[in-house]
Amino acid sequence: MVKIFIDPGHGGTDTGATGYGLREKDLTLSISKRIQTILLNEYNGVQVRMSRTGDQTVSLSERTNAANAWNADFLLSVHINASGGTGFESYIYIGNYPSRAATNEKRNIIHDEVVKATGFIDRGKKEADFHMVRESNMQGVLTENGFIDNAHDANLLSQTSFLDKIARGHTNGLAKALKLKKNHSEQVSITSSSNGKTNDNDDEKYKVNKTLDGYVTAADAKAEVNKKTTVKKGEYYVFNRSQGMINVTKEKGTPGSWINPKNNSGVKTPSTFLIRVKTAELWYYNKPDWNAREGKAKKGDVFTVVDTLTVNGSKMYELKSGTYITANPEYVEKV
């Protein structure tokens, strides 16, 4: 498992640099989240932790302390430049230290991939005494992605498609430098059509009624294993469908998470009904599990049903009392 710590520069009361209506803290968070999503969606054996996931104020020491405490393998600090210039530059810690050559090698790979993906003017591979690369125990790089107060760069930075390119450059570089393994099934689904989209109708919407587990592949979603993300309640675009599973995304045309639509039932129906036991004796259960026998109901007993579930292919009623009973009409009848 490769642990990558991503640090979206600035945040909260510290806006970072500003220009053309843009704030560095927003751009660094957006780029960092895109990097996180691509890494988790498209690569195996990688863990990502972020120094912040929202607009919080986090001190520099808190950031490096978090990376060090987590024992990250690599640190990436994402920034936007300002004050005269255009293009991209990257930094490692200045001076002599044991991992200097190895750090520089990885930085060079990441740097070149970002320049390649973005078309940014290459301002060079640099060294500086920055807190983030000095106080972090692991190898790391700080990137300065364009100038927020330069009209040309700011115009690019205002486009989400360009933030995707920056993220893509970083992930390509991280994957190469840290030898990450591509998640094969995801690769297949993304390359299976020429434009990278697998849903012909990319305006198709899907409503998620409650928080669901998100997965990297349709097969994982179907088997409900290797949960990677959480998909919150809300409206999504459908990026892809496969094996009865749905890939939902907030950003049209880009892959999101796979969910299992069978878990997306609406809010429980408030309407209840009554059933009566038809047989002499009938097991009831303390949880939705045919092995969890709790006791026996008798012929003529009446219960209030609050929900109907399918357990191992057979229908089960959830009762108001919190217990469960078969829904088989041979044994119970609606009153």
Tokens 């999503």 locate to: 37
Q: Are 332 and 326 in contact (CB under 8 A)?
A: yes
Query: Considering only 1-9, 89-97, 160-168, 264-272, which stretch makes contact with Zn ion by CB under 5 A?
Result: 1-9
Helix (H) / strand (E) element for 26: namely: helix 24-42
DSSP state of 25: H
To the nearest whole angstrom, how small is the minimum distance from the Cβ of residue 16 to Zn ion?
5
Find the residue with minimal CB distance to Zn ion: 79
Kindly tell me the burial class for residue 322, based on how many C-beta atoms sit within 10 Å of its own C-beta (0-12, 13-18, 19 or more).
Answer: exposed
User: Token digits for 253?
Assistant: 């045309």
To the nearest whole angstrom, how small is the minimum distance from the Cβ of residue 142 to Zn ion?
9
144 among known catalytic residues? yes
Closest of 274, 281, 283 to residue 298, by C-alpha: 281
Q: Are 316 and 324 in contact (CB under 8 A)?
A: yes
Judged by CB under 5 A, does residue 16 bind Zn ion?
Answer: yes
**Separation of alpha carbons 302 and 328, rounded Å:** 15
Positions 65 through 94 that interact with Zn ion (CB under 5 A):
79
Judged by CB under 5 A, does residue 52 bind Zn ion?
Answer: no
Q: Which of 24, 144, 186, 318 is catalytic?
A: 144
Closest of 102, 127, 227 to residue 177, by C-alpha: 102
Closest of 53, 34, 39, 61 to residue 228, by C-alpha: 39
To the nearest whole angstrom, how small is the minimum distance from the Cβ of residue 92 to Zn ion?
16
Query: Considering only 2-10, 35-43, 99-107, 306-314, which stretch makes contact with Zn ion by CB under 5 A?
Result: 2-10
Judged by CB under 5 A, does residue 19 bind Zn ion?
Answer: no
Judged by CB under 5 A, does residue 9 bind Zn ion?
Answer: yes
**Separation of alpha carbons 33 and 186, rounded Å:** 19
At a CB cut-off of 8 Å and minimum separation 6, what does 109 contact? 173, 176, 177
To the nearest whole angstrom, how small is the minimum distance from the Cβ of residue 24 to Zn ion?
5
To the nearest whole angstrom, how small is the minimum distance from the Cβ of residue 167 to Zn ion?
17
Judged by CB under 5 A, does residue 8 bind Zn ion?
Answer: no
Residues designated catalytic: 144
Site residues (CB under 5 A) for Zn ion?
Answer: 9, 16, 79
